[in-house]
Amino acid sequence: MSAYQPGRGIAFSVSASTLFALMSVYAKLLTPLTGLDLFAWRVIWTVPGAFTLIALRSRLPHLRALLQRVIREPRTALTLVVSAVLLGAQIWVFLWAPLHGRMLEVSLGYFLLPLSMVLIGRFYYRERLEPLQWLAVAFAALGVLHELWVTHAFSWPTLLVAIGYPPYFVLRRKINADSLTAFAIEISLLLPFALAMALQGGSLALLSGRIDMWLLLLPGLGALSTIALATYLKASRLLPMALFGILGYVEPVLLVIVSVTLLGESLTAQQLGTYVPIWIAVGLTALHSARLLAPR
């Protein structure tokens, strides 16, 4: 595993969060495609984008090495299959949610995800947390407890994100391969299912005559997806798991802003009891990151 590089890692993490937030708006441009249609076409257009990036960034030796490991090591092959399934579920729910007015629920899952990642970093990887990080976790936990008190449960989109992503990142670290290369193989494993969905789901009829879709919007979805995911996965390998998890607060804050201002969802006064403590956690995380990067 490569040495941690906090400066680059934080920059990659924040950039990825911004791109993912923009993707939730981009999905609305692709109507009348459904969530499953968008999943299929996102995968189809992401595959060439991922391999183009591999060629441009001289990652072909890494690709050959990982493919050789897959052939020699059944455990590595199985791990990649499982991680591809976990990644596919996240890709689908992220595109499905804005089309069904459920983006706030997904954003809550991303608010919970850093807590999950911090717990994994502390208790699985034995990483030490700084006082500001513990304070951020405490405020985030306060927001989570408020949500449980109000709703008595979390919706399934929330749980899918909060519980589904941590094992994916653990498996990624076990594979211990170049992030972009592993991602290209994962997305390729999803390609047969995506092609089947595109051919049988009726989206071809919806796209008939839509030159803007074929030449601009669908390739743009693939490019945006490839860059965002590759950037996110790069950050996951440059940062300690706990810091990577806490920086995950940036994305749901952006998703809430996008959901309310651009997607027309509403944020009630009751929900503020959940979000305000978590926003404080984001501020504390930003302060910790600034101190981490300050010249010594």
How many angstroms separate the CA atoms of 199 and 222, rounded? 18
- Residue 141 domain-assigned (yes or no): yes
How many angstroms separate the CA atoms of 140 and 131, rounded? 14
Confidence of residue 293 (pLDDT cuts 50, 70, 90): low
- Residue 1 domain-assigned (yes or no): no
CA distances from 57 to 11, 60, 61, 181, 233 (A): 19, 8, 11, 11, 15
- Examine the pLDDT at 280 and tell me if it is beyond 90: no
- Residue 237 domain-assigned (yes or no): yes
- Residue 77 domain-assigned (yes or no): yes
Per residue in 122-170, pLDDT (tens digit) is: 888 888 878 888 888 888 888 878 877 877 667 888 889 988 889 998 9
How many angstroms separate the CA atoms of 96 and 34, rounded? 7
CA distances from 104 to 14, 110, 111, 198 (A): 20, 10, 10, 27
Least confident of 23-27, 28-32, 287-291: 287-291
The total number of structural domains that make up the chain: 1
From 87, 75, 99, select the one nearest 226 (Cα to Cα): 87
Per residue in 219-233, pLDDT (tens digit) is: 998 889 888 878 887
Confidence of residue 85 (pLDDT cuts 50, 70, 90): very high
CB-based contact 37:206 (threshold 8 Å) = yes
- Residue 12 domain-assigned (yes or no): yes
Confidence of residue 69 (pLDDT cuts 50, 70, 90): very high
How many angstroms separate the CA atoms of 92 and 74, rounded? 27
CB-based contact 106:165 (threshold 8 Å) = no
Per residue in 45-66, pLDDT (tens digit) is: 999 988 998 998 888 999 999 9
On average, the pLDDT of the chain sits at 85
pTM assigned to the model: 0.76
Question: CB within 8 A of 73, min separation 6: which ones?
Answer: none
Amino acid identity of residue 293, one-letter, is: L
The residue range of the domain holding 23 is 6-293
From 84, 50, 60, select the one nearest 189 (Cα to Cα): 84
Percent of the chain with pLDDT over 70: 96
- Residue 111 domain-assigned (yes or no): yes
Please report the sign of the dihedral spanned by the C-alpha atoms of residue 158, residue 159, residue 165, residue 170: positive
